[in-house]
Amino acid sequence: MLSSGRGTVRGSERVRMRWWFYILAACGAAWLWAAPALAENLAEATRKDTLVLGRISSSPDKQYPKLEALNAYVVRQLAADTPIRASAVVVAEDIDHMARLLREGKVDYLSETAFTALQLEKLRLADIFLHEWKNGVATYATLILARKDGIASLAELRGRRLAFEDPDSMSGFFLPYAFLTTSGLTLRAADDPKLKLDRQAVSYSFAGGETSILAQIVRRHADAGVISNTRWSNNAKIPPAFRRDLKVIGQTKPTVRSLMLTRRGLDGALKERLAAILLAMPHHPDGKAALKTYFKVGRYQKLSPETLAQLEDLRRSLNNNFAGLP
């Protein structure tokens, strides 16, 4: 179980092996539904010539077309000079499920937020190898919002209610939690709004989504809340009334938004070839189209000194604030 002092973070080890696979031959064959038995057959009979792209999500059906767009393109390139001939994608329901798939060698590569990537790295199951520009953005930050007629500083959060997004979100929980703790604040989980507030701590709960967070602040169910700077800067996604009534009272440092990882132990030559293909994708029309389908990725790039420094900061934050995680 992956947990911190606040309780379970990513679910439990009771992994419900709900598998959905779409297998697509590199030559462009039709999509095939694979039941659990076929998934096991894939691992045993055709695993050596199949590249498997993974993803963690509670909404697998929405992920398959995105995953297959990227993986099918990569497999077509690999087929020219490697034994890889087929593409498969698998969606894990939580980090425990993904950890099991990686441990069993059933996922070759995946992209994730930095905190999840670092957890998998700490488990020695995956290696971070490329920086992914998800939605065309290299980095992002979390903003702390409050009503314009409400509190004016982070220090005033003591004895108040704060709305996070959900316990799995990097920008909606991990980053702001670590930021506020480092700023000298004590945070306490308080899901029941009827409970008396701790006057020396920030009482937090999870709203389940960024729009819900904004609504809770505006409706005075929370004194402050969090939102990513990319979301806040998108006028199409923020109701005018919310923007009119809210202000920014704090912001985390910008940090790497998304990363590509490979399964630890993946063949070195295959890993090198995979990196070359991903790095070159924006320069080819078909590759660029596949990236757009795959979470509107702008490009991949090698880990720069700046990105490595950001990851080191996040490692320290993970160890200092979420010691119960792997």
Claim to verify: residue 231 and residue 288 sit in the same structural domain: no
Query: What pLDDT does residue 285 have?
Result: 98
Query: What pLDDT does residue 71 have?
Result: 97
How far is the C-alpha of 320 from the C-alpha of 99, rounded, in Å?
22
According to DSSP, the residues that pair with 262 across neighbouring strands are 109, 127
77 part of a folded domain: yes
Claim to verify: residue 294 and residue 213 sit in the same structural domain: no
Claim to verify: residue 127 and residue 272 sit in the same structural domain: yes
Query: For the chain, which ranges sit under pLDDT 70?
Result: 1-45, 323-326
Query: What pLDDT does residue 42 have?
Result: 60
326 part of a folded domain: no
Claim to verify: residue 88 and residue 21 sit in the same structural domain: yes
Listed residues 191, 220, 252: the one ending a domain:
252
Claim to verify: residue 115 and residue 155 sit in the same structural domain: no
Claim to verify: residue 206 and residue 108 sit in the same structural domain: no
Claim to verify: residue 132 and residue 151 sit in the same structural domain: no
The model carries a pTM of 0.83
Q: Which domain holds residue 201?
A: 142-252
Give every CB contact of residue 212 below 8 A, 6+ residues apart in sequence: 163
Listed residues 191, 223, 252: the one ending a domain:
252
Claim to verify: residue 216 and residue 295 sit in the same structural domain: no
How far is the C-alpha of 136 from the C-alpha of 289, rounded, in Å?
13
Q: Residues 106, 52: contact at Cβ < 8 Å? A: yes
Joined together, the tokens standing for residue 114 give: 């930095």
The domain total for the chain is 2
Query: What pLDDT does residue 196 have?
Result: 80
Listed residues 252, 286, 312: the one ending a domain:
252
Convert the pLDDT of each residue in 19-56 to its tens digit: 444 444 333 333 333 333 333 346 565 788 999 999 99
244 part of a folded domain: yes
Query: What pLDDT does residue 319 have?
Result: 87
193 part of a folded domain: yes
- Evaluate the CA torsion angle 99, 9, 53, 82 in order and state its sign: negative
Claim to verify: residue 221 and residue 296 sit in the same structural domain: no
Residue 134 has what DSSP assignment?
G
Claim to verify: residue 112 and residue 188 sit in the same structural domain: no
CATH number at residue 99: 3.40.190.10
208 part of a folded domain: yes
Residue 25, φ and ψ in degrees, nearest 5: -65, 150
Claim to verify: residue 17 and residue 89 sit in the same structural domain: yes
Claim to verify: residue 116 and residue 199 sit in the same structural domain: no
Element counts in the chain: helices (H) and strands (E): 11, 18
164 part of a folded domain: yes
Query: What pLDDT does residue 14 have?
Result: 34
